């Protein structure tokens, strides 16, 4: 069976994030995954979220001087990391890794690169994930830094749970990489009239621990800054 021009190009230069983004199957799975998340009361896990995670994961490795292809693979892993939510929220990292394997294999990606991506997807969630390498670490940091009021899908503030309230309270979030000082800092501006800083830690402490481990994998120190106060 002969390869198409697109498949030949992908084989020559490697599968790129733009190829993954333009894949109709990928787009459909991400959109349907977010529909399921909305139906069960979760914050946004759709195209906005995964596009941001892809961009931040790439930026983290670029700022630390990684090879361009490694940064590209981190961005692809970031874009695909939540695709397993189309099946179930429970076990979605492992489901997503399996789905990503099939999709990327269909697209002609090399096995060694697929292995790095599915490993990152399978290890991105707190409680079960481990920052096994630089790509995984970048995806973890990018994913956990996306805390923001725009992620709240529930349009009824009176019915907000703590996750909605904390996300809604975050007016600004930014992940800053300082390659010279080897620090990675998550900067948050939180409206404490909506949710307290203690509530943030109540639900996100596991995520922050995983971020600290991810930063260490990159030979960096993770820091959290809330309303201009550096907490660690």
Tens-digit pLDDT profile for residues 118-159: 999 999 999 889 999 999 999 999 999 999 998 999 888 878
* pTM for the predicted model, two decimal places: 0.92
pLDDT > 90 fraction of the chain, expressed in percent and rounded: 84
Q: Distance between CA atoms of 187 and 184, rounded to whole angstroms?
A: 10
Q: What are residue 76's phi and psi, to 5 degrees?
A: -65, -45
Nearest of 100, 102, 103, 107 to residue 85 by alpha carbon = 100
Determine the pLDDT at residue 1.
44
For the chain, the straight-line distance linking the first and the last C-alpha, in angstroms and rounded, comes to 57
CATH tag for 5-230 (out of 1.10.10, 1.10.3210, 2.30.29, 1.10.1060): 1.10.3210
| Mean pLDDT score, 10-35 | 91
Domain boundary assignment for the chain: 5-230
> Which two three-digit tokens encode residue 223?
């820091």
């Amino acid at each position: 069976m002969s390869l198409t021009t697109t498949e030949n190009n992908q084989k020559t230069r490697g599968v790129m994030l733009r190829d993954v983004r333009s894949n109709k199957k990928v787009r459909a799975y991400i959109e349907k995954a977010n529909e399921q998340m909305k139906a069960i009361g979760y914050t946004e896990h759709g195209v906005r979220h995964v596009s941001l995670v892809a961009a931040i994961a790439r930026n983290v490795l670029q700022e630390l001087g990684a090879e361009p292809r490694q940064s590209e693979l981190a961005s692809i892993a970031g874009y695909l990391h939540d695709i397993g939510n189309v099946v179930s929220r429970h076990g979605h990292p492992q489901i997503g890794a399996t789905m990503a394997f099939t999709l990327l294999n269909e697209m002609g990606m090399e096995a060694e690169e697929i292995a790095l991506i599915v490993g990152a997807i399978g290890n991105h969630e707190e409680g079960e994930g481990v920052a096994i390498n630089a790509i995984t670490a970048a995806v973890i940091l990018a994913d956990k830094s996306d805390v923001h009021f725009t992620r709240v899908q529930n349009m009824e503030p009176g019915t907000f749970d703590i996750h909605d309230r904390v996300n809604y309270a975050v007016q600004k979030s930014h992940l800053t990489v300082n390659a010279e000082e080897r620090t990675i800092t998550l900067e948050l501006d939180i409206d404490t009239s909506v949710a307290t800083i203690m509530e943030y830690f109540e639900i996100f402490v596991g995520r922050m621990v995983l971020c600290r481990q991810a930063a260490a994998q990159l030979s960096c120190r993770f820091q959290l800054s809330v309303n201009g106060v550096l907490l660690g």
